[in-house]
Amino acid sequence: MTLPKDSNDTNRLSHPEILRYSRHLLMPEVGLEGQQKLKAASVLVIGTGGLGSPVAMYLAAAGVGRLGLVDYDVVDFTNLQRQIIHGTQRLGERKVVSARDRLMDINPSIRVDIYDEPYTSENALTIAGPYDVIVDGTDNFPTRYLVNDVCVLTGKPNVYGSIFRFEGQLSVFWAAKGPCYRCLFPEPPPPGLVPSCAEGGVFGVLPGTIGTLQATETLKLILGIGDPLIGKLLLFDALGMNFEEVRLKKNPSCKICSDHPEISELIDYEAFCGVPGHDRPESRLASEWEIDARELAGRLKDGDPIRLIDVREPHELQISHIEGSELIPLGSLAAHMHELDSAEEIVLFCKSGGRSAQALELLAGAGFRKLKNLHGGINSWVREVDPSQPVY
């Protein structure tokens, strides 16, 4: 595939469109021909969350003729801090429907296709087929590797972005012209090593910064202007307001984009990464290792000798707590393991159950057996036992 796409009579601009895009038309780098290229272009945005929100909104406003949106979630109250394509009145709605309605309000002259389903190995190539550029607005490793492999196998550019707390990354992975995502990250990190935004948090404006840059790179690719981030990784630190650019090289031994690839079709990406292909913090422990909030409350009320260990970060105690628990953050648990007695019954908890599941696995690996993880974390405790405290 070659970008940009040539325009034709079907992409001729109407008089209202000429007025709408007049600020583009005044720029020689865009002009009438460039705006017709945008109208002829199609972009698939994977995810309508923090990154997908600014990406889709700016591409719609810029006049990209066809947008595809992939998501299978609903608008949640916790999304509104950063996912600006959605609003309070849209709570509980399908994200793709909420996003489509917002985009059509921004620019009713474009086409918006929605795919209210997970992006998986079974449907990925079919969904991606009609689109020129794929924008990765995901938040988990299985889908990132899936998006990369789809782009390599179909020859499409992958406009990549990722965020965590105050830091972001951005690149354009296009195997025909430079490295792919696997060239930079041949293997995923060990499961649990990198916390999700749901567990670690994200500065609300950060996805706006990275997502807008992703939209910028996408428009540059379509227009064939400027210097795209092919073979470069842009690192952003919001606290220091610093941008750093790292040069990337194609890996001659890459398993998918080298001259002798090992991967020629899509694989099981959840198995490859060892984690689910979605951002869900709940644990994946067998039921015998878990205890629910009501059972724990009943046992504590009966005076059962249970040692409650909170593995969250200290600042989270200001939001909610369970009386009688002691704080040992997950990151320092190994250093404090000698303070725990394997003869005691220990119940571990965090916000939603993910970090405490990792803590349980760590202790179990060290020989502890009388362990339980609070299913759903302290948020479950608040919902079922102590509603005087907030869910977060």
User: Does residue 1 carry a pLDDT above 50?
Assistant: no
- The pLDDT assigned to 281 comes to 44
Query: Which of 164, 173, 191 shows the shortest CA–CA distance to 50?
Result: 164
What φ, ψ does residue 126 adopt, rounded to 5°?
A: -65, -45
- Give the percent of the chain with pLDDT over 90: 89
- The pLDDT assigned to 278 comes to 62
What distance in Å separates the CA atoms of residue 38 and residue 253, rounded to the nearest whole number?
36
Cβ contact 197:13 at 8 Å = no
For the ranges 74-83, 167-176, 193-202, 231-240, the lowest mean pLDDT is seen at 193-202
What distance in Å separates the CA atoms of residue 261 and residue 250, rounded to the nearest whole number?
13
Place of tokens 């990464």: 273
Cis status, amide bond into 4, omega within 30 of 0: yes
Q: In this structure, what token pair is assigned to residue 30?
A: 């865009």
User: Does residue 221 carry a pLDDT above 70?
Assistant: yes
Place of tokens 């780098």: 29
pLDDT in tens, 268-326: 999 999 887 764 444 467 788 999 999 999 999 999 999 999 999 999 999 999 999 99
- The pLDDT assigned to 216 comes to 98
User: Does residue 147 carry a pLDDT above 90?
Assistant: yes
Q: In one letter, which amino acid is 276?
A: P
What distance in Å separates the CA atoms of residue 131 and residue 1, rounded to the nearest whole number?
11
- Give the percent of the chain with pLDDT over 70: 96
For the ranges 4-13, 261-270, 271-280, 355-364, the lowest mean pLDDT is seen at 4-13
Cβ contact 50:93 at 8 Å = no
Cβ contact 106:61 at 8 Å = yes
User: What Cα–Cα distance (Å) separates residue 83 from each residue in 63, 80, 111, 203?
Assistant: 21, 5, 21, 12
**Mean pLDDT, the chain, whole residue set:** 94
Mean pLDDT of 229-252: 98
Mean pLDDT of 225-253: 97
User: What Cα–Cα distance (Å) separates residue 218 from each residue in 61, 104, 127, 172, 221?
Assistant: 13, 20, 18, 9, 5
User: Does residue 35 carry a pLDDT above 90?
Assistant: yes
Question: Which residues form the catalytic set?
Answer: 197, 350
- The pLDDT assigned to 342 comes to 92
Q: In one letter, which amino acid is 56?
A: A
Q: In this structure, what token pair is assigned to residue 255?
A: 């398993």
Cβ contact 329:355 at 8 Å = no
- The pLDDT assigned to 72 comes to 96
Cβ contact 184:176 at 8 Å = no
- For residue 374, the cross-strand partners are 291
- The pLDDT assigned to 193 comes to 74
Helix (H/G/I), strand (E/B), else coil: 199: helix
Q: In this structure, what token pair is assigned to residue 127?
A: 């969904």
- The pLDDT assigned to 6 comes to 53
- Hey, which bits of 198-356 come out as E strands? 232-237, 242-247, 290-291, 306-310, 326-327, 345-349
What distance in Å separates the CA atoms of residue 141 and residue 210, rounded to the nearest whole number?
18
pLDDT in tens, 93-140: 999 999 999 999 999 999 999 999 999 999 999 999 999 999 999 999
User: What Cα–Cα distance (Å) separates residue 88 from each residue in 80, 116, 177?
Assistant: 7, 20, 42
pLDDT in tens, 324-348: 999 999 989 999 999 999 999 999 9
What distance in Å separates the CA atoms of residue 359 and residue 314, rounded to the nearest whole number?
16
